[in-house]
Amino acid sequence: MKAIHLLQIQNEAKKLQNTQNITYNQSLQIVAQQNGFKSYQAILDKIKKDYVDDENEQIKEFKLNVFENRKHIKSNFTKIEKLAEKYKKIKFTEEYDNNEEKREELLQEIEETASKLSNSIAKMFFGNILTKPTGDSMSVEGCAYAGYVSSDFLTFHNDIDEHQADYFIELYILDQSFSFGYRDFNIDKYKDIDNEGNEIIKEYKEWSDWYLVDIKLP
């Protein structure tokens, strides 16, 4: 069976809706049947299975999160893309050539709004684990985030180059895609002496391997 893509089904349904004067849900059911499925839910389950399927459990879990939250992610991507267009227009227009302070104020407002939308996507993936933006990329073009699971707050706070991060996500707004990566660490325990002369157990985290995959929205 040839690969079936969600966007393909949705586009076919929209065309059918316009030509047959029926509801979008009705057109989804018809398109599903035309593709050999009993219902839209059946074809959606098939698309989900194919999209999420991966031998790597970490990547599989991430892709499942993307699929289940695809509408929210796509909505935020679209909003950020519009903000990026507005950002570019303000940055290069002659309207503010005599008022650069106003230009910078408007650009900053756009970046802050786009950043909130990007942060919302990152929060959806990382939940309550320690997370911070990385790099210098503008939020209107794309943002990258690092997530920390096996580190304490002090390590998280002082890890300027994100060398101790467990997870990475980069958002590509125009492509509506992600880079998802995680590091596999070996954690060794060893004995040490604290300032008061007591024996304590410390942990040493050694980077073992690195996994990275590019993922487009379904």
pLDDT in tens, the chain (218 residues): 567 889 899 999 999 999 998 999 999 999 999 999 999 999 999 999 999 999 988 899 999 999 999 999 999 999 999 999 999 999 999 999 999 999 999 999 999 999 999 999 999 999 889 999 887 655 787 889 999 988 889 989 998 888 888 899 999 988 889 999 988 767 778 888 888 888 888 877 676 677 889 999 98
Nearest to 9 by CA among 39, 87, 21, 22: 39
Alpha carbons 155 and 151: distance in angstroms, whole number: 6
The answer to whether 80 touches 114, Cβ cutoff 8 Å, is: yes
> pTM here?
0.78
Cβ-based neighbours of 214, under 8 Å, separated by 6 or more: 177, 178, 179
Q: The tokens of 131 are what? A: 């997370």
What is the separation, in whole angstroms, between the first and last Cα of the chain? 18
Q: Are strands 130-134 and 177-193 parallel, antiparallel or unpaired?
A: unpaired
